[in-house]
Each structure stands twice: as C-alpha cells, then as structure tokens.
C-alpha cells in the first residue's frame, strides 16, 4: 500500500478521531486528503491546520453511514484532489485502511467505496465481530 502520491479519504466514525491518521498521511507524502467527520467543523478545522502545497487537505462534515454522504465524498475528492487511492476509516476502536487499487476495475467510484466502508465499519465497530481476512484490505498504521 503506497501512501506517497495517493489521494486519501479519511472517514471518521462517531467516537473516533482522524487527526493522528491525517498527520501520518501528510508526513508520508500523500498527494491530498479529504477528511470527513460527522461533527460539524471538526474536519474543516483539521483541514485548515494540515493543508500545504503538495498535499491539499479538504475537510467536510459527513457520515459514511449515509450513501448520499459517501457519494458526496467521492465527488468532492474527485473535484478537488483527483482519483482516490486509499480509503481510511478512523473509529473509536482503531483504524482501517483500504487500497482501492486492490478492488475490481469494473466497479464505479461509489461502489468502490461502499464495499471497503462496509468492511471497515464491520471491523472497527462493533468490536465483537470477527475481522475479515480479505486480501484486498490490510490493517496497518501509516508510517
């Protein structure tokens, strides 16, 4: 999973924080970040803090439990940053990062995001569910 040069979407779940994850992505030379947090103003403030030449950061208020918000994330990322390379979910119990390059080419952008979001949410919340052994997703910390 290559962070350098990738556009990354970070979806923050209730009780989670995407701040540390976003800082790690910018330090790893991501090409751009879109941060979505369900709490108004949180992602926007973080975007202002982290935005820099070479790694623009966009913050939006959004909830990945709503398909309309996911569609808006895809459109906003494409408009302001380019094609999405990585999708990350930051929840109260941890992080999940999925490389969209590992998914089938025939899926459209919304479908590409819905599948990893479902996997990510099922692994991060609730904790009693079993983790997926899917080869298309890797639990990792960006270094």
CATH code of the domain in which 93 resides: 3.40.1380
Residue labelled with tokens 């924080």: 17
In a domain, residue 126? The reply is yes
pLDDT digits (tens, 9 = 90+) for 65-108: 887 888 888 889 989 999 888 888 888 888 877 776 655 554 45
In a domain, residue 143? The reply is no
In a domain, residue 60? The reply is yes
In a domain, residue 34? The reply is yes
Pairing of strands 32-37, 57-61: parallel
Is residue 56 pLDDT above 90, yes or no? yes
Dig out the tokens for 4 from the structure.
């350098």
pLDDT digits (tens, 9 = 90+) for 7-47: 999 999 888 899 999 999 999 999 999 999 999 999 999 99
In a domain, residue 66? The reply is yes
Q: pTM of this prediction?
A: 0.70
Q: Which domain holds residue 120?
A: 7-138
Domain count, the chain: 1
Determine contact, residues 41/52, Cβ cutoff 8 Å. Answer: no
Residue, of 65 and 119, whose pLDDT is higher: 65
């Amino acid at each position: 999973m290559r962070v350098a040069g990738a556009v990354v979407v970070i979806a923050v779940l209730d009780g989670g924080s995407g701040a540390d994850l976003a800082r790690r992505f910018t330090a790893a030379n991501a090409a751009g970040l879109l941060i979505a947090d369900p709490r108004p103003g949180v992602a926007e403030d973080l975007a202002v803090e982290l935005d820099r030449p070479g790694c623009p950061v966009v913050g939006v208020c959004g909830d990945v439990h709503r398909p309309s918000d996911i569609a808006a994330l895809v459109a906003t990322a494409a408009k302001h940053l380019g094609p999405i390379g990585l999708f990350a979910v930051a929840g109260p119990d941890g992080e999940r990062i999925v490389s969209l390059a590992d998914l089938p080419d025939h899926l459209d952008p919304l479908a590409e995001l819905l599948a990893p979001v479902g996997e990510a949410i099922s692994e991060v919340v609730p904790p009693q569910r079993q983790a997926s052994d899917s080869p298309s997703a890797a639990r990792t910390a960006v270094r």
